[in-house]
């Protein structure tokens, strides 16, 4: 298995990363090396093995559904890169 | 007055309660030392000296008034910059969060405050905790106090050096694949990664959520036990934190463990292990034998698959966790995101803004892991890569379960080599990944791992011994390690910094 430059371009788009041409070159080489390294896992027969998502398997932790204070608007907006008095501002989504 | 910066938290607490030294004097001494050494070592990304001194003075005033004080009253603590501190810079070593000021404290920070600790600063780290050398920080590398041409390890390099160079007696780091234990080993101090679920991750900026855990750095195990006792326990804000009682780690530390069956992991003594490290670890085994331990060789047959499994699971989780940095709610936003090529014209402006912001905000290692994870989770590859890695993760956990049927703890080297030179591995990501080969599997299995000093190389660099125990057996782990610490003096070595 090896990744072509076009596939890396596609992955970068999915990952929302704009790559410079030289980055694309470097990352393609490095990602291929890493993919080759992780491909060792294919040697193992894992047919009957149940995947393990967490080291300590805790599931279905419930709590009472109670109302509590939420973050005040000003605190929530304080770190916004662009805002007005009540909203986060982003580039136009609709034409 | 004896220089308080050559002490430990437990001793400083005793000296404060007997009136030999005040909290203000202690904080002042550490702050002054940091003032002198930080320009060389680059440990702190943010310090608020006045605030720290005010906290210390408040402790002194309450002590004088006869108030009851918390278990860390007046003790300076350095904090890895991956932990949120209310209203104070929390950069995670990234340009992305350069001006981020969290609207809340991480639970471990609230616990430190409730314990009356003095927070002396936020420490340098590999960006978003991805790295093994602290060279991936957007704010320059941290240097190893034993040899400033060498790396301190990572990703918690700043917190490790804070303690090793006595800029704070204790500190907090985080460990996703070795990021506490590896720098502890390379800096000659004690570092513990607790069991997954032992310590709350609320307010710990997420890298790989099924692996991340907060833990302490210190000079000796008494301080490890003290700090672990403060930060451990269930937190309603982190549903992966586990509701098991927190033992009195410090109170039982000096009681020898009822059973001392030590396993040596056969697979950890293979190719790539530096002979000097191997010799130090073999000597540690002899120390245990002399202390009456039953030592036997055990096998963790899937060890060699730990790295490959980790470098799928961790990047997969990272690609998901780091999708929140998109230039909209917080973090860096690119000023110019206009289309540069005809292909980019077809991408909507909102998406271009996100892509440009992430390109400017993240460094190369973070981008590499986001892309690797995105690839491993993408349609057509998820089964082959990500799901296979989760199955191998089960095999690795089963290896540990089997080994712990016959032994109480496992020991081996923490790292394959001592601290390497700055720049030595920065152009070869895969070589950098291999410095975590002995630490990665405990994160995958969820069990606790501890590194303690066990020797020095001929060129004067520290060597770490790793001990591992079953999940939630931290008490056994610390008591077993204490047997070695009492029989040796490696933990009392300090680098020759003026």
Q: Model confidence over B369-385: pLDDT tens digits?
A: 999 999 999 988 898 99
Quote the domain boundaries for residue A33: 5-43
Residue A51 lies in a domain: no
Residue A83 lies in a domain: no
DSSP H or E segment with residue B189: none
In chain A, residues 46-85 whose CB comes closer than 8 Å to chain B? 46, 49-56, 58, 61, 63, 71, 75-76, 78-82
State mean pLDDT over B439-466.
98
DSSP H or E segment with residue B8: none
ipTM associated with this complex: 0.95
Set B179, B218, B319, B451: catalytic member: B179
CATH for A9 = 1.10.20.60
B421 is catalytic: no
Q: Which residues contact B197 (CB under 8 A, 6 or more apart)?
A: A56, A58, B240, B241, B242, B446, B471, B472
Q: How far apart are CA B210 and CA B309, in angstroms?
A: 13
| DSSP track, B283-334 | HHHHHHHHTT-EEEEE--TTGGGHHHHHHHHHHHHHHHHGGG-SSSSSS---
Residue A69 lies in a domain: no
B299 is catalytic: no
Least confident window among B156-160, B200-204, B428-432: B428-432
Instruction: Give the model's pLDDT for residue B1.
Output: 55
Residue A49 lies in a domain: no
Residue A36 lies in a domain: yes
| Tokens standing for residue B259 | 């059973």
**Does the pLDDT value for residue B498 go beyond 70?**
no
Q: pLDDT > 70: what percent of chain B?
A: 99
**Does the pLDDT value for residue A58 go beyond 80?**
no
Number of structural domains found in chain A:
1
Tell if the CB–CB gap between A41 and B331 is shorter than 8 Å.
Answer: no
**Does the pLDDT value for residue A10 go beyond 70?**
yes
Residue A18 lies in a domain: yes
Q: Which domains does chain B have, with CATH numbers?
A: 4-262+408-492 (3.90.1300.10), 305-388 (no CATH)
B155 is catalytic: yes
Residue B12, CA distances (Å) to A19, B3, B92 in order: 51, 11, 30
**Does the pLDDT value for residue A57 go beyond 80?**
no
Q: Is B204 exposed, middle or buried (0-12, 13-18, 19+ CB in 10 A)?
A: buried
**Does the pLDDT value for residue B152 go beyond 70?**
yes
DSSP H or E segment with residue B438: none
> In this predicted model, what pLDDT tens digit does every residue of B30-48 receive, in sequence order?
999 999 999 999 999 999 9
Average pLDDT along chain B: 96
> In this predicted model, what pLDDT tens digit does every residue of B475-486 receive, in sequence order?
999 999 999 999
Smallest Cβ–Cβ distance between A49 and the set B307, B391, B445 belongs to B391
Residue A11 lies in a domain: yes
> In this predicted model, what pLDDT tens digit does every residue of A64-89 receive, in sequence order?
899 989 999 999 999 999 999 999 99
| Tokens standing for residue A84 | 């007005």
> In this predicted model, what pLDDT tens digit does every residue of B201-257 receive, in sequence order?
999 999 999 999 999 999 999 999 999 999 999 999 999 999 999 999 999 999 999
What are the chain B neighbours of A87 within 8 Å (beta carbons)? none
Is B314 within 8 Å of chain A by CB?
no
Assign B68 a pLDDT band (cuts: 50, 70, 90). very high
A interface mutation test: which of B232, B351, B372 has the most A CBs within 10 A? B372
Residue A91 lies in a domain: no
Tell if the CB–CB gap between B378 and A42 is shorter than 8 Å.
Answer: no
> In this predicted model, what pLDDT tens digit does every residue of B288-310 receive, in sequence order?
999 999 999 999 999 999 999 99
């Amino acid at each position: 298995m090896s990744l072509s430059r076009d596939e890396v371009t596609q992955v970068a788009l999915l990952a929302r990363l704009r790559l410079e041409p030289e980055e694309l070159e470097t990352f393609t080489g490095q990602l291929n090396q890493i993919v080759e390294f992780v491909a060792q896992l294919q040697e193992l027969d894992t047919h009957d093995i149940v995947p393990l998502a967490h080291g300590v398997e805790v599931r279905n932790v419930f709590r009472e559904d109670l109302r509590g204070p939420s973050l005040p608007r000003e605190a929530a907006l304080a770190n916004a890169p662009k805002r007005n008095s009540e909203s986060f501002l982003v580039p136009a989504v609709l034409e | 007055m004896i220089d308080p910066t050559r002490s430990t938290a437990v001793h400083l607490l005793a000296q404060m309660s007997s009136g030999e030294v005040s909290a203000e004097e202690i904080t002042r001494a550490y702050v002054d030392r940091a003032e002198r050494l930080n320009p060389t070592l680059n440990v702190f990304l943010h310090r608020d000296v006045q605030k720290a001194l005010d906290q210390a003075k408040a402790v002194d005033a309450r002590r004088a008034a006869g108030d009851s004080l918390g278990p860390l009253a007046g003790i300076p603590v350095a904090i890895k910059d991956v932990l949120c501190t209310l209203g104070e810079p929390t950069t995670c070593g990234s340009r992305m969060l350069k001006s981020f000021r969290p609207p809340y404290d991480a639970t471990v920070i609230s616990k430190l405050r409730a314990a009356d600790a003095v927070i002396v600063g936020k420490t340098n780290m590999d960006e978003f905790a991805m790295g093994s050398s602290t060279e991936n920080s957007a704010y320059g590398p941290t240097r190893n106090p034993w040899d400033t041409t060498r790396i301190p390890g990572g990703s918690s390099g700043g917190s490790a050096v804070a303690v090793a160079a006595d800029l704070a007696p204790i500190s907090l780091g985080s460990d996703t694949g070795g990021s506490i234990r590896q720098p502890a080993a390379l800096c000659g101090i004690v570092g513990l990664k607790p069991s997954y679920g032992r310590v709350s991750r609320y307010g710990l900026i997420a890298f790989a959520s099924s692996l991340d855990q907060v833990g302490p750095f210190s000079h000796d195990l008494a301080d490890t036990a003290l700090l672990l006792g403060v930060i451990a326990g269930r937190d309603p804000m982190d549903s992966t934190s586990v509701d098991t009682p927190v033992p009195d780690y410090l109170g039982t530390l000096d009681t020898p463990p009822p059973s001392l069956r030590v396993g040596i992991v056969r697979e950890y003594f293979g190719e790539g292990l530096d002979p000097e490290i191997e010799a130090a670890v073999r000597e540690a085994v002899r120390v245990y034998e002399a202390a009456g331990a039953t030592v036997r060789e055990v096998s963790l047959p899937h060890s060699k698959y730990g790295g490959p499994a980790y470098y799928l699971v961790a990047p997969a989780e990272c690609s998901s966790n780091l999708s929140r940095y998109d230039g909209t709610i917080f973090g860096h936003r690119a000023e110019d995101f206009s289309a540069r090529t005809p292909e980019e014209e077809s991408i909507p402006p909102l998406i271009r803004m996100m892509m440009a912001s992430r390109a400017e905000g993240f460094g190369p290692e973070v981008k590499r892991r986001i892309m690797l994870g995105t690839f491993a989770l993408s349609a057509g590859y998820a089964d082959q890569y990500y799901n296979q890695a989760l199955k191998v993760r089960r095999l690795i956990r089963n290896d540990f379960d089997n080994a712990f049927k016959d032994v109480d703890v496992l020991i081996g080297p923490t790292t394959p080599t001592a601290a390497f030179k700055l720049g030595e591995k920065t152009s070869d990501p895969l070589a950098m990944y291999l410095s975590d080969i002995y630490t990665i599997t405990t994160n995958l299995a969820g069990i606790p791992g501890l590194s303690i000093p066990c020797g020095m190389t001929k060129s004067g660099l520290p060597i770490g011994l790793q001990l591992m125990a079953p999940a939630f057996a931290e008490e056994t782990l610390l008591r077993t390690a204490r047997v070695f610490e009492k029989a040796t003096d490696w933990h009392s070595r300090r680098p020759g910094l003026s």
